[in-house]
Amino acid sequence: MTRKRPVLINPSKFEWSQLKFYFILIPLALFMVLPILYMFFSAFKPMDELFAYPPRFITTRPTFINFRKLLAATGTTNTPVTVYLFNSIVISIIVMVLTILFGTSAAYTLSKRQFRGKGLLFKINTLTLMFVPTTVSIPRYIVISKLGLLDNFWSQILPLLAMPVGLFLLKQFIDQLPDAVIEAARIDGATEYGILFRIVIPMIRPAVSTVAMLVFQNVWTNVEASRNYINRESLKTFAFYMSALTSSTGNSVAGQGMAAAASLIMFVPVFLLFIIMQSRVMNTMSYSGIK
């Protein structure tokens, strides 16, 4: 008689045998988290602590001075930081909304409609999952300039809308929806647009939030668009401002505290969004397989 082995994956309660895994994971997690904690503490350090010797990791007298300095600072042409922040927020929202809109409608069509070239289209998209935009930053610049979008606000939005991973995840998720639901709606006289907005999107909310998170992460931290396509300082993003700040004042005394504060502003929104969404993200990821 074979002894029935307990299933060890995804256990429901703690057992001593799991301890060995903690021994591996906890030091590793510490290594992963220390730079982030460092960023966090530095942002709240007063000047003398930032440059104390020996360096102190934890701040004893937290202060908002770095943030205040950052917000009072101006870019190279007297553009207040708040302008960059405002641009970043507006661009992020527009890109998120449009990517979701374009992505879900394309994904729904690819998943549930029949037309010629459908298989090929999805194959091309899957192939470009590995696409890294920086490899073709020069031709992209040429496309943008031919479209007359140089120095135009939209040049920071349009290139980011093509996101193969987003389409892929959405389509994989929509594939799981039963055809019967959509058929029923069609029989009841719903248009395709109605089906998309009233049935598909509400049913794939986890995938939509996951893609929204990935898009946000991508846009919020994007430096290339501002750097390559935009000349007017007042149109550039906070990510760009930050990269300029760190390269010009990187090691100066005043710069470091501000850079840490700026890093925190870059990091925290993305991180919070992930924490809020993490169970939906995990749900989406279980359909992420490429067959």
Binding to another protein by residue 282, rule CB under 8 A?
A: yes
CA gap 50, 48 in Å, rounded:
6
* Residues in 149-188 at the binding interface with another protein, rule: CB under 8 A: 158-159, 161-162, 164-165, 167
At 161, list the tokens: 């809308």
Residue number, 74 or 249, with CB nearest to another protein: 249
Q: Which of 119, 139, 148, 178 binds another protein (CB under 8 A)?
A: 139
User: At its nearest, how many Å lie between another protein and the CB of residue 272?
Assistant: 11
**104 closest CA partner among 37, 152, 153, 174:** 174
What's the closest the beta carbon of residue 81 comes to another protein, in angstroms? 15
Smallest gap from Cβ 121 to another protein, in A, equals 7
Q: Which stretch binds another protein (CB under 8 A): 64-72, 78-86, 181-189, 245-253?
A: 245-253
Total number of residues that touch another protein (CB under 8 A): 107
Nearer to another protein, 31 or 78 (CB): 31
User: Closest approach of Cβ 61 to another protein, in Å?
Assistant: 18
Least Å from the CB of residue 114 to another protein: 9
The SS3 call for residue 143 is helix
| DSSP state letter for 80 | B
Query: Helix 81-112 vs helix 118-127: angle between axes, to the nearest 10 degrees?
Result: 140
Are residues 227 and 254 in contact, defined by beta-carbon separation less than 8 angstroms? Answer: no
* CA gap 241, 76 in Å, rounded: 9
Name the phi and psi angles at 251, rounded to 5: -110, 5
Site string for another protein, 190-209 (x = CB under 8 A): -xxx--x-------------
Task: Count the neighbouring beta carbons within 10 Å of the beta carbon of residue 105.
Answer: 17
CB atoms closer than 10 angstroms to residue 222: 21
- Beta strand segments in the chain, E: none
Q: What is the footprint of another protein within residues 54-73 (CB under 8 A)?
A: 54-55, 57
Name which of residues 76 to 135 contact another protein (CB under 8 A): 98, 101-103, 105-106, 108-110, 113, 115, 121, 124-125, 127-135
Under the criterion CB under 8 A, does residue 230 sit at the interface with another protein?
no
Whether 197 and 108 have beta carbons less than 8 Å apart is answered as no
Give the binding range for another protein (CB under 8 A) out of 58-66, 71-79, 181-189, 213-221: 213-221
Give the Cα separation of 171 and 7 in Å (integer): 32
Q: Considering only the stretches 47-55, 66-74, 76-84, 179-187, report the one whose residues sit in contact with another protein under the rule CB under 8 A.
A: 47-55
d(CA 65, CA 70): 8
Per-residue contact string for residues 7-46; x = within reach of another protein by CB under 8 A: xxxxxxxx---x--xx-xx--xx-xxx-xx-xx--x----
